């Protein structure tokens, strides 16, 4: 029988524990974890993501600041805004919602964030630390997937794991987190040959490509664990994953749904990492 990995339930459980930890930090140290989110332009999906992050942050007792700036903002103005938050002691996490308008260089913006406040884990200092085995701030989506493995006691040691998609925010950091758990990792992408055959050798398959219902049961070994990161809209505007859920559920041992799988865990890890950053600020 296929077991559903319920990301929504796990996220709720973790966020209510987090709310308690936040309350304790307030009571003992007088510190409220602060998260600043900067949203540039009018991308409707980004506005929805940012609203969800703000709501969850407030529910967990955080200080939440959301700055919405127009597309016309210059790179220098955006960097100046980030720098104010770098210096602001009441803010422990800074997130700039991607994608950014074409005239702004994503890399320059990521570099401008203080690595200690880089709760998305995208700063080269943090990606470097992750690859050298001293992780601090982790990219939230792969970190949330690792929490799912822990919660469902899915052992990764020595397992054949295969990731489809090599983005900086999902595929690449996912590979390192799996390696840290002694999994054998194959990282695949759009130029990979014989992908379904390769994928069928995986005990754990993680899909992050952004193509609705791309992965069918032809890609999945009987009993494999399948994690679907994709968030796509079908022709009717319905949210669907990269995995054809009903088809793949016939063979998978565990599977994440979309919605209610990886998405809620991403927000949870963002809050958890902001809390951890606030905690580290106490011991400074
Ligand atoms: P991305 O930056 O667009 O990267 C997509 C990756 O998929 C690339 O590495 C690309 O290969 C690979 N790819 C594309 N078509 C492929 C194919 N036919 N076969 C094999 N590989 C293929 O995507 P992303 O930012 O990682 O996001 C992926 C999906 O996850 C999107 O739907 C996004 O909305 C979703 N997402 C969800 C969350 C969440 O919290 N649930 C978080 C982040 C992203 P090349 O490198 O060769 O081009």
Is residue 247's pLDDT more than 80?
Answer: yes
Q: Look at residue 13 in the predicted model and tell me its pLDDT.
A: 98
- Tell me the per-residue pLDDT of 148-179, one tens digit each, with 9 for 90 and over: 999 999 999 999 999 999 999 999 999 999 99
Model pLDDT for residues 253-273, shown as the tens digit of each residue? 999 999 999 999 999 999 999
* Minimal-distance CA residue to ligand 1 atom 4: 167
Dump strand ranges (E) for the chain. 3-4, 34-40, 63-69, 93-96, 160-164, 184-188, 204-207, 225-228, 232-233, 239-240, 254-255
For range 236-265, the mean pLDDT = 97
With a cut of 80, say whether residue 274 has pLDDT above it.
yes
Which residues, including other chains, have CB under 8 Å from residue 274's CB and lie 6 or more apart? 33, 34, 35, 57, 62, 92, 93, 119
pLDDT value, residue 277: 97
SS (HEC) of 188-225: ECCCCCCHHHHHCCCCEEEECCCCCCCECHHHCCCCCE
Mean pLDDT of all residues in 18-45: 96
Query: Per-residue pLDDT tens for 184-237?
Result: 999 999 999 999 999 999 999 999 999 999 999 999 999 999 999 999 999 999
CATH 3.40.50.10860 domain locations along the chain: 29-115
- All CATH 3.40.50.720 domain ranges in the chain, comma separated: 140-263
Q: What is the pTM of this model?
A: 0.97
Give the pLDDT band (50/70/90) at residue 282. Answer: confident
Q: Is the minimum distance from the CB of 231 to ligand 1 under 6 angstroms?
A: yes
Q: How does the average pLDDT of the chain come out, rounded? A: 97
In this predicted structure, the answer to whether residue 133 has a pLDDT above a threshold of 90 is no
Q: Are strands 239-240 and 232-233 parallel, antiparallel or unpaired?
A: antiparallel
The minimum-distance atom of ligand 1 relative to the CA of 258 is 41
Is residue 119 over pLDDT 90?
Answer: yes
Candidate from 191, 210, 232 with most ligand 1 atoms within 8 A of CB, to mutate: 210
Identify the pLDDT of residue 270. 97
Distance CA 279, CA 21 (A): 10
pLDDT, residue 238, reads 95
Helices (H), 88-180: 106-112, 124-131, 140-151, 171-180
Report the helix count and the strand count for the chain, using DSSP H and E.
10, 11
For residue 175, which phi and psi values (nearest 5 degrees)? -60, -45
Ligand 1 center from residue 208 Cα (angstroms): 4
pLDDT of residue 68: 97
Neighbouring residues of 259: CB distance < 8 A, sequence distance ≥ 6 = 8, 231, 239
Please state whether beta strands 93-96 and 225-228 pair in parallel, antiparallel, or not at all (unpaired).
unpaired
Residues acting as catalytic residues: 53, 97, 120
Q: Is the CB of 229 under 6 A from ligand 1?
A: yes
Q: What CATH number does the domain located at 29-115 have?
A: 3.40.50.10860
User: Does ligand 1 have an atom closer than 6 angstroms to the CB of 144?
Assistant: no
Residue 214 to residue 260: CA distance in whole angstroms: 19
Question: How much is the pLDDT for 135?
Answer: 80
Q: In this structure, which CATH number among 3.20.20.70, 3.40.50.720, 3.40.640.10, 3.30.70.141 belongs to the domain 140-263?
A: 3.40.50.720
Query: Above 80 in pLDDT, residue 284?
Result: no
């Amino acid at each position: 029988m296929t077991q559903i990995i319920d990301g929504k339930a796990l996220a709720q459980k973790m966020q209510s524990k987090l709310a308690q930890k936040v309350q304790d930090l307030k009571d003992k140290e007088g510190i409220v974890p602060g998260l600043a989110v900067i949203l540039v332009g009018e991308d409707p999906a980004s506005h929805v993501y940012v609203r969800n992050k703000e709501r969850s942050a407030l529910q967990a007792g955080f200080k939440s600041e959301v700055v919405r700036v127009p597309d016309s903002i210059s790179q220098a103005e955006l960097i100046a805004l980030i720098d104010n938050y770098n210096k602001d002691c009441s803010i422990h996490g800074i997130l700039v919602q991607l994608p950014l308008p074409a005239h702004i260089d994503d890399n320059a913006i990521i570099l401008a964030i203080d690595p200690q406040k880089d709760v998305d884990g995208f700063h080269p200092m943090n990606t470097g630390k992750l690859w050298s085995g001293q992780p601090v701030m982790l990219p939230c989506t792969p970190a949330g997937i690792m929490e799912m493995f822990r919660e469902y006691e899915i052992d990764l040691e020595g397992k054949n794991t295969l990731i489809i998609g090599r983005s900086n925010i999902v595929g690449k950091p996912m590979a390192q987190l799996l390696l840290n758990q002694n999994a054998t990792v194959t990282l695949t992408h759009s130029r990979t040959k014989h992908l379904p055959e390769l994928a069928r050798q995986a005990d754990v398959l993680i899909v992050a490509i952004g193509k609705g219902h791309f992965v069918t049961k032809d890609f999945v070994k009987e009993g494999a664990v399948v994690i679907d990161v994709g968030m796509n809209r079908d022709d009717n505007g319905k949210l669907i994953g990269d995995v054809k859920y009903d088809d793949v559920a016939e063979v998978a041992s565990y599977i994440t749904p979309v919605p209610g799988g990886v998405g809620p865990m991403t927000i949870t890890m963002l809050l958890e990492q902001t809390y951890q950053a606030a905690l580290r600020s106490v011991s400074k």
